Amino acid sequence: MIVYFGGTAYDGVAGTDRQLTDRLAALAPVLYVDPPISLATPLLRPHLAGSLDGPPLRRQARDLYRLIPRALPGAYRPGMHHVTAALVRRATRQAAGRLGRRVTAVVIATFDAGLLGAVPGARTVFYATDDLVAGAGLIGLPARRMEKARDRLLARADAVAAVSPRLRDDFRDRGRDAEMIPTGCAPEAYEGIDTAPWPPDLAGFGRDRPAAGFVGHINARIDMGVLEGVAAAGHPLLLVGPHDPAHEPARFRALTARPNVRWTGRKSFAELPPYLRAIKVGLTPYARSAFNDASFPIKTLEYLAAGRAVVATDLPSARWLRESDPEGAELIRTEAADGFVRAVGAELAAADPAGATGRRRRFAARHDWTHRARALARLLDIDREEVPAP
């Protein structure tokens, strides 16, 4: 069995952790371990209240199990984070015992070095899906603690993986080679997208003029000026995803009040295909920062999987996609902030060349989550042919 310590709850945003473990479970049994939760957690994050309902250990699918460890209030305060890690380690060993599985591999996809040794004797891979040292302020934890945890994980893990070229190179500079395992996409989710029912809450939006669209969290990581520029240029702009109330509330209200802008709020991953049908160009407008430069936004590949054109901020991850695949430079347009709006206008006005939609989808299929899961399985020394039938 593989134990995967995720940085997000399994039933939260269907991001890297969830997508990878769903596919790893086709190669070997997986126990997904959520970040720990206490009785006080729902007071700060009400959307997690449901996690306390039901037993801590649950079966999600065939060969995929989920553990929701319980913690004491103030789980990540100085000093208490050691107690929390000890509780999670014990709960993980108990869960594996209840399932009657021998744990042979562990993935730590967080910066919690206290999870090292959770299962003695198991091969451990540290998988950095973000630069949490640079992003410590975003998650409300001390940067110094994140730095010490990162260095301990780099020193003690059996193998290291990094989500982006910037993180991979940073780890190499720190004396540890890392396998690059970027984010992927789910092309199968967009099969039949062009005949999907038009979303009822769009009421004709994008029917008469091609629209640009953004899918994801609208927070401090996003360049609000780019979104404002696209709207000010008169282009129809669709925003799908939650807005952080603390991030530029007045600017966001003014943006969504424009007649050519439609904001849907949060939508689940399963709900996305009809909304992507309504756009011609997908936007990945990230602000330049150390945290963003080390990230690998999922949305760029998801737009391509849906057959849509892409304009993305010129992050190292976008450049890697353009340079690592022969078709990348033609299918992904990268721009700095000052040229982003012009590029969006050009893509909206351009006629798609014959076969462009198919080429985008084939490109995305070469970067799907199954490929990423197999790369991670190789680091874990998991060979499908050696996995016994349950």
Residues 172 and 250 in one domain: no
295 and 222 Cβ atoms separated by less than 8 Å: no
Number of domains in the chain: 2
Q: Which residues are within 8 A (CB) of 201 and not within 5 positions of it... i.e. 6 or more apart? A: 264
Q: Are both 243 and 193 inside the same structural domain?
A: yes
- Span 156-194, pLDDT tens digits: 999 999 999 999 999 999 999 999 999 999 999 999 899
Read off the CATH number of the domain in which 163 is found: 3.40.50.11010
- Residues 360, 317: one domain? yes
% of the chain beyond a pLDDT of 90: 80
Query: Does one domain contain both 122 and 231?
Result: no
Q: Are residues 110 and 200 in the same domain?
A: no
The answer to whether residue 248 scores a pLDDT higher than 50 is: yes
Do residues 150 and 198 share a domain? no
Q: What is the pTM of this model?
A: 0.91
Q: Same structural domain for residues 151 and 198? A: no
User: What is the edge-to-edge ordering of all strands in the sheet holding 281-284?
Assistant: 261-263, 237-240, 212-215, 281-284, 309-313, 332-335
**Do 88 and 209 fall into the same domain?**
no
- Please say if the pLDDT value at position 386 is more than 70: no
6 and 151 belong to one structural domain = yes
In Å, how far from its chain's centre is CA 289? 18
Mark whether 286 and 301 lie in a shared domain.
yes
What whole-number distance in Å separates Cα of residue 222 and Cα of residue 241?
12
- Together in a domain, 213 and 345: yes
In this prediction, residues 223-246 reach a mean pLDDT of: 96
Domain around 247 = 187-365
pLDDT of 48 over the 60 cut: no
Residue 264's domain is classified under what CATH number? 3.40.50.2000
What is the tens place of the pLDDT at every residue in 346-378? Answer: 999 998 888 899 999 999 999 999 999 999 999
Q: Are residues 340 and 238 in the same domain?
A: yes
